[in-house]
Homo-oligomer: A and B are copies of this chain.
Amino acid sequence: MLSEEDKFKEYLESKNLKFTPERQAILSRVFANPKHFEADELLVDLRLNKLRISKATIYRTLSLLVKSGLLREVIFGERHAHYEQVYGNEHHDHLVCNNCGKIIEFIEYRIEKLQDEVCRKNKFEPESHRLQIQGLCEDCTKKDDNKIKKK
C-alpha cells in the first residue's frame, strides 16, 4: 500500500495540483496520531509544532484530503465538522456519549450487509454511509443522576 503522502501526491498530480510545504505539513500532522479532530484543533496542533499555516489553507487542504479519500468527515449534529483518517483503516461507525463526549468506534459487518440489502431493494447505488448512536457510555450511565452538562 502507498504511504499517505504518496497517495496524496498521486491525487494532487491527477488534478494538476501542487504538493506544497503547507500541504505536506498538514498531512503529516493529520496522520501523526490517529484521532478525531476538528479544524481548530489541527490549527493548534500545527502551532505547537511551530507550523504557522493560515486557517484558510487548513480548510482548503482538509477539503482536498477528503476528496482524495484520505480523510472523511464524521460526527455531525454540531455545527462544525470533525475528521478522521480513512486510508488504511477499516470502515467503522460511532457511539457518541451525550454526557462526556466520548466516542467509541465499532465495526459490525452484519449491519453493513443489511445496508447493502436495503440499497439493492431501492435500486440505490451507495457511495458512503454514516451511522452514529447517541446515548450514555458506561461511566456516564453510572453517574446517571448527574445533570447532563452541555459542553
Q: Which residues of A contact B (CB under 8 A)?
A: 73, 76-77, 79, 95, 97-98, 104, 106, 108, 110-111, 114-115, 118-119, 121-138, 141
B95 touches A124 (CB 8 A): yes
Task: Tell me which residues across on chain B come within 8 A of A136, comparing CB atoms.
Answer: 124-125, 127
16 contacts between A and B (CB under 8 A): A76-B76, A95-B118, A98-B127, A104-B122, A106-B122, A111-B114, A111-B115, A114-B114, A118-B133, A124-B138, A125-B136, A125-B141, A128-B133, A129-B133, A130-B132, A130-B134
- The chain B residue sitting closest to A144, CB to CB, is B125
How many identical chains are in the complex? Answer: 2
Task: Tell me which residues across on chain B come within 8 A of A76, comparing CB atoms.
Answer: 76-77
| CB-contact partner of A108 in B114, B124, B129, under 8 A | B114
| CB-contact partner of A79 in B79, B110, B124, B131, under 8 A | B79
CA–CA, A53 and B19, complex, Å: 51
CA–CA, A31 and B10, complex, Å: 50
The 3 closest A-B pairs by CB, nearest first: A76-B76, A123-B138, A126-B135
